[in-house]
Amino acid sequence: MVSHHTMTPFPIETPRLLLIPAQLVHLQAALIGREELEKYIGYAVHPDWTEFGSDPWAYALGKIRENESQSGWWTWFPVLKSEDLIIGTCGYKGLPDANGLVEIGYEIAPPFRHQGLATEMATGLVGRVRNIPLIQGVLAHTLPEENASVRVLKKAGFSLSGEIEDPDDGPVWRWQLTF
């Protein structure tokens, strides 16, 4: 019997992107550096591909080492198909919660912003989980201000569900898309 938390980590394809689920080897390589990741993933990686740095990869690596079936629930690498180039990171922030909600996050290198690519990332991540029976919806959090991330979520169909206090980031807006 397959657990409802198992997600076969096949790439997600959108019109312009291929989202590749990070396996252990990809996360280990990313922690060493961009050039190392390029060797193991088979794509060039834009020099400004991440502002968040390596902490999320180290965390995801630990979670996947604990339970390899979680590999689809963490980091994904978005490849711009026209350039065979990784232009950011995205993914889920772990397994669905007790209410059947899963959280997404995304970032995109500055030269690729304002082209709808982050919206494609978010929409691809949402589409991936939309038909998993026990998932009721998707969450995301942004700074409590109108910004590019807010525009991405609105375009992807999310609604503002309130402001919460994040232990690390302070006040944030909570966005939700319910299926």
Question: Are residues 74 and 92 in contact, defined by beta-carbon separation less than 8 angstroms?
Answer: yes
CATH code of the domain covering residue 134: 3.40.630.30
Domain that holds residue 27: 12-178
Report pLDDT digits (tens) over 48-64: 999 988 999 999 999 99
Q: Distance of CA 26 to CAs 21, 55, 66, 112, 137, Å?
A: 9, 14, 16, 22, 28
Does the residue 1 lie in any domain? no
Does the residue 116 lie in any domain? yes
Does the residue 36 lie in any domain? yes
Confidence of residue 109 (pLDDT cuts 50, 70, 90): very high
Q: 159 phi and psi, to 5 degrees?
A: -120, 145
Does the residue 46 lie in any domain? yes
Question: How close are the terminal C-alpha atoms of the chain, in Å?
Answer: 25
Does the residue 17 lie in any domain? yes
Does the residue 7 lie in any domain? no
Does the residue 3 lie in any domain? no
Question: Are residues 160 and 173 in contact, defined by beta-carbon separation less than 8 angstroms?
Answer: yes
Does the residue 5 lie in any domain? no
pTM higher than the cut 0.75: yes
**Count of domains for the chain:** 1
Confidence of residue 7 (pLDDT cuts 50, 70, 90): low
Q: What is the mean pLDDT of the chain?
A: 93
Using CA atoms in the order 124, 156, 90, 20, what is the torsion angle rounded to 10 degrees? Answer: 10
